[in-house]
Amino acid sequence: MAALPKVDKIWMNGELVDWDSAQVHVLTHALHYGSGVFEGIRCYETPTGPAVFRLTEHMERLARSAKMMRMELPYSVEQLVDATLALIAANGLKSCYIRPLVYRGYGVMGLDPLPCPVDAMIAVWPWDTYLGEDALKNGVDAGVSSWRQRSSNALPPQIKGTGSYINSSFARMEANDHGYAEAIMLNEAGMVCEGTGENIFVVRDEIIVTPPVSDGILEGITRDTVIALAQDLDFDIIEASMTRADLYIADEVFFTGSAAEIVPVRSIDHRAIGTPGPMTLAIQEAYFNVVRGLDSAYEFWLERV
């Protein structure tokens, strides 16, 4: 993975600070106990200037993650949206990735996080494709992980929390070690959940299936977008639990995520799924038209810089 490209400014607790000065104390609570919540968002270049895709919904999910963690969000969703748009403008970016993080800061140690201050930051930087240009075009090889998705009674997958990603990192490292680009995680009951940073969709007999939130997934904003776009395309799409075998006999499989975008899966555990299928390609095209501002029907999802 390429090193982070630096830009001028990072937003920290309401101030724009220089990239190199955006630092925290080593006794920051979140560094020790994973007590942070975050988002991953993209800003795309459109014919009428840069636009952030579903920014408000991402900040609303951040607020829900914070609520589940009992963190008092120090800024309103609206303030975080405005700060993001101003930060992109200040850095003069046409397109970028956006990473807001709300975390327990410096001041108190120990496992009760409630006495700790809550800090917030937003960083933006140019970031090309997450799994690579070739992945978008030709698909990726994926493998079912030996690591289970953490259960709702351990660390709820609906919280986009920093500590939660230890689990995802285990799965991602294992997948890479096995020569796969991405892992597919099952829950403790053996039902298909999601990738390490993506939701998953499976097509069989022209019906698109994606796991329900109750199987233990993050409520992806791209997932929600894809459900809407599939309905527009008159595709049958349902939420249903799936087993590992359902993956092996799929006609098409694809991952969705703000960073990953729409990535076809060409094999799972060495069972060929094949080249990107027609329904995957139709959804991918529809998605890129929406995020790049080429589909006026979804203009309301674009928040202009």
Which positions lie near ligand PMP, rule CB under 6 A?
A: 40, 168, 194, 197-199, 218, 220-223, 256-258
Shortest Å, Cβ 218 to ligand PMP: 4
Residues with Cβ within 8 Å of residue 105, at least 6 apart in sequence? 24, 25, 28, 29, 30, 116, 117, 118, 119
d(CA 50, CA 90): 13
> Quick one: angle between helices 221-232 and 278-291, nearest 10?
110
Q: Hey, which residues does 238 pair with through a beta bridge? A: 209
CB atoms within 10 A of CB 137: 14
Shortest Å, Cβ 54 to ligand PMP: 8
Residue tagged active-site, from 6, 9, 137, 160:
160
SS percent in the chain: helix, strand, coil, step 5: 30, 30, 40
d(CA 185, CA 191): 9
Residue 268 vs 291, nearer CB to ligand PMP: 291
Residues with Cβ within 8 Å of residue 285, at least 6 apart in sequence? none
Residue 195 CA: distances (Å) to CA of 51, 180, 253, 255? 27, 12, 12, 7
Residue 143 vs 197, nearer CB to ligand PMP: 197
Residue 91 vs 225, nearer CB to ligand PMP: 225
Per the document, the length of the chain is 305
Shortest Å, Cβ 155 to ligand PMP: 12
Residue 186 vs 218, nearer CB to ligand PMP: 218
Q: Where are the alpha helices (DSSP H) in the chain?
A: 29-33, 55-68, 77-90, 133-138, 165-177, 221-232, 244-248, 278-291
Shortest Å, Cβ 40 to ligand PMP: 5
Please confirm, yes or no, whether 67 is among the known catalytic residues. no
Residue 46 vs 256, nearer CB to ligand PMP: 256
Shortest Å, Cβ 106 to ligand PMP: 27
Residue 105 vs 220, nearer CB to ligand PMP: 220
Shortest Å, Cβ 172 to ligand PMP: 10
Burial of 110 (0-12, 13-18, 19+ CB in 10 A): exposed
Q: Where in the sequence numbering do the catalytic residues fall? A: 160
